[in-house]
Amino acid sequence: MSKELAKTYDPKDIEDRLYKKWEDNKYFHAEVDRSKKPFTIVMPPPNITGQLHMGHALDNTMQDILIRYKRMQGYNALWQPGTDHASIATEVKVIESLKEQGIDKDELGREGFLEKAWEWKEEYGGRILKQLKKMGSSADWDRERFTMDEGCSKAVEDVFIKLFDKGYIYKGSRIINWCPVCQTSISDAEVEHEEQNGFFWHINYPVKGEEGRFVEIATTRPETLLGDTAVAVNPEDERYQDLIGKTLILPLVGREIPVVADAYVDKEFGTGCVKITPAHDPNDFEVGKRHNLPEINVLNDDATINANGGKYQGMDRYEAREAMIKDLDELGLLVKVVPHAHNVGTHDRCKTTVEPMIKQQWFVKMDEMIKPAVKAVKEGEIKLLPERMDKIYFNWTDNIRDWCISRQLWWGHRIPAYYCADCGEFVVARENPGKCPKCGCTHMTQDEDTLDTWFSSALWPFSTLGWPDKTEDLDYFYPNDVLVTGYDIIFFWVIRMIFSGYEQMGEAPFHTVLFHGLVRDSQGRKMSKSLGNGIDPLEVIDKYGADALRLTLITGNAPGNDMRFYWERVEASRNFANKVWNASRFIMMNIGDEKLETPALEDFTTEDKWILSAVNSLAKEVTENMDKFELGIAVQKVYDFIWDEFCDWYIEITKTRTYKKEEDPKSAKTAMWTLKTVLIQALKLLHPYMPFITEEIFCTLQEEEETIMLSEWPTFKEEWNFKAEEEAVAHVKDLVKGIRNTRAEMDVPPSRKAKVFIVTEDKELEEIFASMKTAYAALISASEIQVQDTKDGIGEDAVSVVIPGAVVYIPLEDLVDFEKEKERLKKEQERLKKELARSKGMLSNEKFLSKAPEAKVLEEKEKLAKYEQMMQQVEERLSQMK
């Protein structure tokens, strides 16, 4: 074997070199091949503004494990990569970049701004994909897509027009999330709910015509009072029966508003009377529709009060709040102010508090489109893992509202709608129709808005494969097999892909959704910029290598569960890589240039059969775990097998055979063939998790195959099924562990050889221990091994070790050199005498006891107790030796 592994494992030396080899040889690339079964995963497209964080690292490691596993199983595996244009995030980044250059977005105009945005995308948009490559991601980079590339844009336009023609897309006034800083509507996905300390302001609304009678309401947003158009009570609330249908005078405004009865009101919450502001609250909006209430918007787009706010017009929302509270107090209408912690929606980009506002926007009607998505999960056509995700999924589908898809941004897919400047008629079309179909006017302008980013990513599983064109790729690779994603975007992305798949393709986009949790810091906190506790995966890779990071992220990871990141665990993963590397080097050095043929069955020893059987069972179990997506359980089994069974047991057992090649060349060759064969099987099972180190060792260890990536996944072989030998070695392990523990307790060095008597009445055990002496003699530092069925010939002073089915005896004089031990114990006795005298002296010294700190006195008392106990043990040992 001319090739050799480097002396020490250095990830920096191998990772970039191997990744280049894989890419150059197009190992990741998949073409349509009807002779093979396809397996497809679509990468959740990271934002072009994105930078690799631990969530991406976990998400993509899991996908890479699955794709590498399936590739080795012989599937035509496609991992489809790409990036998302991320409307708001990118627009904000580009505006910031222009500001630094002293350029104003509005002065540039739409076309000029888009030109700059595309330049920015070209420069920074692929950064995260380069970072994913550092992780070892084996995606088909030749097929990389972008949500705003020509094909994806065509798909978006197609879907918009189709859904509009079907009556599923409409333009109307509804409540949306409005960001006053970014000045755009935003999706639910971009609203982060955080608990904030606020107040409940209790306000009295006078009842018209009943002097001195009031209705008390409680609100967390007093400024919206300006837009109130009713107060609602529960129809079954006996306290307010006589109020239903009466009129109230809206404080500060003087407008008359009705009291309406609506089951939406919770009798037990607050006062049981709820102010209804249809233009500024989604629930109030629905109440308003049921009772035909007017909708009065009191806010401008920048969250200042508009003309409907009377004397408060022009004030910022919070400034108006203070002024109104002051005025209500002066009027005697402010009942009380109660501190109240409540959830407040903020924009995840700029952290501004979001305003629910009624706006003219484009919406997708959801009541019909959601039905197949509900049915698919209910009937098991799509499986969500872990199963507890079903509940969250249905909770969202049951409460689905129409989806606001328009955004007041320039970067994104522009809405394909054209308006007549004269009569206001609009037309949805691919291109400007040039002429109004209603009045014939030729001044048609395109809608200024763009589409919600999620509109395009909802089509991702099929738009990336060429849809709406009927491509070979689409026919062969669709539907995808598995989607891997974090549980935090279940509603926004997963459900949208599912209903889009049924609507556009007539079938599910994938059969399984594998949810993973969040990667938290060592204290269990979410990683965030504000806490400054984020850990850069690239820093981890630089320090310990990609394989160590990948192993850390998957070890102990169960679907849907959050995990904590500890540097110590990465270190442990790196130590495991070192163990694999050093064991492989040791094996290769032993094999040298030996040509190894497959041995005959009778040439295998019990331990050879045991390790072959163990790796055989491992392959079966790991495959079962992988198929159930239990990736953490699978890798733990591989880890335990390599470290414990293979390195700590089998390699140690075979050392006596490989060191004595000349004495028994056949046995040595059988051991070396087994070492190499089992190592190769173990490397294959480990490869999806730790691709770099397994590739480097595999390609150095053998010359038949050029990469482990395309080698065959290990499967269970009946001819390697040696159950009896597995049981036999289990008994030998009990024996070795028992003797080693006893020697360690007695402080006997491994270099001291001792005679060992094994006494068992079990004939089968007797045969095992007798026939396997050469396998375990060195492991127990035995000078001689006697296996017998009685205690005959064993001295009374022998040390006994009880193991299942047998008792082991070791003559005490073999373990201990009496004269040396006596000498050592006497020295120890003298030392302890001095320590005891010193300690007792201190504790009988009144000066010390009165002046020394209490902790110091206590420490001295503990020392004295310890020395007394040690002295007792030493004297006992000395008396035994007499």
Lowest mean pLDDT among 42-46, 147-151, 188-192, 588-592: 188-192
Q: Which of 842, 849, 846 has the alpha carbon at shortest distance from 864? A: 842
221, part of any domain: yes
Position 591 in a domain: yes
Query: What pLDDT sits at residue 225?
Result: 95
Q: What is the DSSP letter of 304?
A: B
- pLDDT confidence of 793, banded at 50, 70, 90? confident
Domain span holding position 336 = 184-356
One domain for residues 674 and 762: no
DSSP 8-state code for residue 825: H
Phi, psi of 118 (to 5 degrees): -65, -35
Q: How far apart are the first and last CA of the chain?
A: 59
Q: Using one digit for the tens of pLDDT, what is the confidence trace for 693-730?
A: 999 999 999 989 999 999 999 999 999 999 999 999 99
Secondary structure string (H, E, C) spanning 32-67: CCCCCCEEEEECCCCECCCCCCHHHHHHHHHHHHHH
Q: Give the angle subtended at the CA of 768 by the CAs of 764 and 772, to the nearest 5°.
A: 170
The answer to whether position 92 is within a domain reads no
Q: What share of the chain is helix, strand, coil (3-state, %, to 5)?
A: 50, 20, 35
Residue 107 lies in a domain: no
How many domains does the chain contain in total?
Answer: 4
Average pLDDT of the residues of the chain: 92
Residues 557-576: what's their mean pLDDT?
Answer: 91
Do residue 731 and residue 849 come from a single domain?
no
**Total-model pTM:** 0.86
User: What CATH number is given to the structural domain containing 258?
Assistant: 3.90.740.10
H or E stretch including 552?
Answer: helix 546-554
Structure confidence at residue 753 (pLDDT)? 93
CA 242 centroid distance within chain: 56
Q: Are 188 and 334 within one domain?
A: yes
Assign residue 845 the CATH number of its domain.
1.10.287
**pLDDT one-digit tens code per residue, 750-767:** 899 999 999 999 999 999
- The verdict on 712 and 823 lying in the same domain is no
pLDDT tens digits, one per residue of 394-432:
998 998 889 999 999 999 999 999 999 888 889 999 999
pLDDT of the residue at 543: 96
**Statement to judge: residues 671 and 742 lie in one domain:** no
Alpha-carbon torsion angle 418, 423, 424, 428, nearest 10? -30
Please say whether the beta carbons of 282 and 176 come within 8 A: no
Distance between CA atoms of 540 and 546, rounded to whole angstroms? 8
Please name every residue paired with 225 in a beta bridge, in sequence order, or none if there are none. Answer: none
Reported as a single tens digit per residue, the pLDDT across 484-496 is 998 877 677 899 9
Share above pLDDT 90 across residues of the chain, in percent, rounded to a whole number: 75
Q: Is 156 a domain residue?
A: no
Same domain, 193 and 329: yes
Query: Six-digit token pair at 530?
Result: 């504000």
Q: What phi and psi, each to the nearest 5 degrees, are found at residue 89?
A: -55, -45
Task: Using pLDDT thresholds of 50, 70 and 90, give the confidence band for residue 118.
Answer: very high
Same domain for 342 and 220, yes or no, is yes
Q: Is it the case that residue 815 has pLDDT exceeding 90?
A: no
Could you tell me if 41 and 481 are in contact, meaning their C-beta atoms sit under 8 angstroms apart? yes
Do 583 and 665 fall into the same domain? yes
* Euclidean distance between CA atoms 728 and 845, whole angstroms: 64
Distance CA 258, CA 273 (A): 12
Contact criterion met (CB below 8 Å) for 549 and 131: no
The DSSP symbol for 598 reads P
- What is the predicted pLDDT for the residue at 1? 47
- The CATH number assigned to the domain holding 675 equals 1.10.730.10
723: nearest Cα among 615, 613, 646, 606: 613
Is there a single domain that holds both residue 348 and residue 210?
Answer: yes
Please choose, from the candidates 361, 364, 366, the residue with its C-alpha nearest in 3D space to the C-alpha of residue 407.
361
Give the DSSP H/E element, type plus range, for residue 248: strand 247-249
Instruction: For residue 629, give both structure tokens.
Output: 């997506």
Q: Percent of the chain scored above 70 by pLDDT? A: 99
Of 721, 752, 778, the last residue of a domain is: 721
pLDDT tens-digit profile of 27-36? 999 999 999 9
Over 60: is that where the pLDDT of 50 sits?
A: yes
Regarding whether 690 and 569 lie in a shared domain, the answer is yes
- If one compares 39 and 795, the residue with the highest pLDDT of the two is 39
Sign for the pseudo-dihedral over CA of 148, 153, 157, 158:
negative
The residue out of 356, 383, 402 marking a domain boundary is 356
- Say whether both 676 and 781 belong to one domain: no
What is the per-residue pLDDT for 880? 66
Residue 529 known to bind ligand:
yes
In a domain, 352, yes or no: yes
What's residue 344's pLDDT? 85
| CA pair distance 595, 659, nearest whole angstrom | 17
Angle at the Cα of 358 from the Cα atoms of 356 and 361, rounded to 5 degrees: 110
Contact between 758 and 798 (Cβ < 8 Å):
no
Tens of pLDDT, residues 268-283? 888 899 999 999 999 9
Work out the number of other CB atoms within 10 angstroms of the CB of residue 106. 7
Instruction: Count the alpha carbons within 13 Å of 777 in the hemisphere toward its beta carbon.
Output: 14
Domain-ending residue, one of 701, 721, 741:
721
pLDDT for the residue 166? 96
pLDDT of 219 strictly over 60 = yes
Residues 216 and 336 in one domain: yes
Strand 482-486 versus strand 512-516 pairing type: parallel
Whether 606 maps to a domain, the answer reads yes
Distance CA 490, CA 104 (A): 37
* CB-based contact 519:57 (threshold 8 Å): yes
The pLDDT-based confidence of 507 (bands split at 50, 70, 90) is very high
pLDDT digits (tens, 9 = 90+) for 63-104: 999 999 999 999 999 999 999 999 988 998 999 999 999 998
Find the CATH number of the domain harbouring 746. Answer: 3.30.2320
Residue 391 has pLDDT above 90, yes or no: yes
The answer to whether residues 218 and 334 touch, using CB atoms and an 8 Å cutoff, is no
H helices of 647-722, in order, are: 652-659, 665-686, 691-701
- Residue 881: per-residue pLDDT: 66
- In this structure, is residue 499 part of a structural domain? no
